[in-house]
Amino acid sequence: MSLLKGSSVRPFNSENWGYPPHNRSSFQQVQQLVPTIRLSRGANPALPQPQNIQELAAISYSGADGNPRTVQQMLDDTYTDAFVVTKNGTLIAEEYRNGMSADSHHLLNSVSKSFLGMLVGILATEGRLDPTEHLTTYIPEFVNTAFSQTTVQQALDMTAAVKYGEDYADRQADFWVETAVVGWRPALVDAKLPKTLFEYACSLKDKEQSDGAHFHYRTVLTNVVAMAVERATNQPLAKLMEQKLWQPLSPEQDAVVVVDASGLPYFGAGMNACARDLARFGQLLAQNGHYDGKQVVPKAWIEDTLHGNDELKGLFAAGDYAEMIPGGHYRNQTWADVQRGLLICIGIHGQTIYVNQNTGVVAVKLSTHPESAEITLFADTFAAMQAITEAV
């Protein structure tokens, strides 16, 4: 338990844990707050991680404001909790702050989504789920909802029709109401609130666009993909993730995922893991799904994620996050920039796995930004990470 100095009371509670400054402690203690399920690392020992530690702090780059900055300044100014960098699988930098250590869990927020996106690629190749099918193929109950004409792929790419607000600054936004279903926002719980994520999805009837017409980032789309995975395979999502993706990484630690009252893992934002193991996932992405002598995620799925298509690029350029990754796109629950060889996993409050396939560099940063989506802090982080990939 994380304690205040000289006090027996932890510095956060179920009401305030998601807000600054309480998130600086609570993001490492999510298992104290809400129910979770464990993704076991398995019986095999973790792969040894070769190390060649280098000094990266003095690497310079042009900050978001155009002024010269250093990696050290970025780490100091962006509420860093953990920072791990590897090149071609070799650990070249590792730093922990704010009470974290190599075996500390940290909330990943929407980095969680990319794990689900890669699992779908595995299952699709096995013929157990078809991304081109409509969600109603797997979840008939969606026939009278906003998801009635949505394909699995449109949900994966955040281009579906459903009306759903994800303005993090609005404490009544649909995103926060949905998190209340998994216990994150007790103040929003009332008699009308659905009891499970499935019930919540079924309650959404309104559409804001035609399916496939616009890129609009909405966490509920991740959660309906999770439901489709369970229906298509008739297996628990956590067990699939554990066996097909987590354990093949030979991680050092277990991971945990927040669950709703039905036991469905909240891969929209609820995964918690350790920084080194996230670097292993990043290395898998860097190697086109190949890891430890095995093709874990199909190469074609990673390549499709990285390359996207012109339509997705156009939709992204017209969306709310175009300035964060200029020239980029969003595909299979992952952010990408094919020109620079980048695959990026991003979560609010500063969670990042930055993968540069061109250089073999993977950078993991776990953070506790005061605000959910401070674009300037993300842009500064990405600029520093790009400078690192070019320098090492």
Q: What is the rounded distance in angstroms from the CA atom of residue 105 to the CA atom of residue 278?
A: 11
Instruction: Tell me which residue of 237, 279, 243 sits closest to 258, measured CA to CA.
Output: 237
Q: What is the rounded distance in angstroms from the CA atom of residue 300 to the CA atom of residue 383?
A: 28
Instruction: Tell me which residue of 331, 332, 327 sits closest to 314, measured CA to CA.
Output: 327
As a whole number of Å, the CA-based R_g of the chain is: 20
| pLDDT of 6 strictly over 80 | no
Predicted confidence at residue 10, as pLDDT, reads 75
| pLDDT of 7 strictly over 70 | no
Q: What is the rounded distance in angstroms from the CA atom of residue 277 to the CA atom of residue 188?
A: 34
Q: What is the rounded distance in angstroms from the CA atom of residue 115 to the CA atom of residue 120?
A: 9
Helices 219-233 and 111-125: crossing angle, nearest 10°?
30
Helix, strand, coil percentages (3-state) for the chain, rounded to 5, are: 35, 20, 45
Span 338-348, average pLDDT:
98
| pLDDT of 19 strictly over 80 | yes
User: Which amino acid type is present at position 365?
Assistant: K
Percent share of the chain, pLDDT over 90: 93
Residue 9: band (very low, low, confident or very high) from pLDDT cuts 50, 70, 90:
low
Question: What H or E segment, with its residue span, contains residue 86?
Answer: strand 80-87
133-178: pLDDT as tens digits: 999 999 999 999 999 999 999 999 999 999 999 999 999 999 999 9
pTM above 0.75, yes or no: yes
| pLDDT of 1 strictly over 80 | no
214-249: pLDDT as tens digits: 999 999 999 999 999 999 999 999 999 999 999 999
Give domain 23-128+236-391's CATH superfamily: DD-peptidase/beta-lactamase superfamily (3.40.710.10)
Q: Dig out the tokens for 260 from the structure.
A: 């709703």
Q: Determine contact, residues 211/150, Cβ cutoff 8 Å.
A: yes
Q: What is the rounded distance in angstroms from the CA atom of residue 117 to the CA atom of residue 113?
A: 6
Domain boundaries, the chain: 23-128+236-391
Span 4-19, average pLDDT:
74
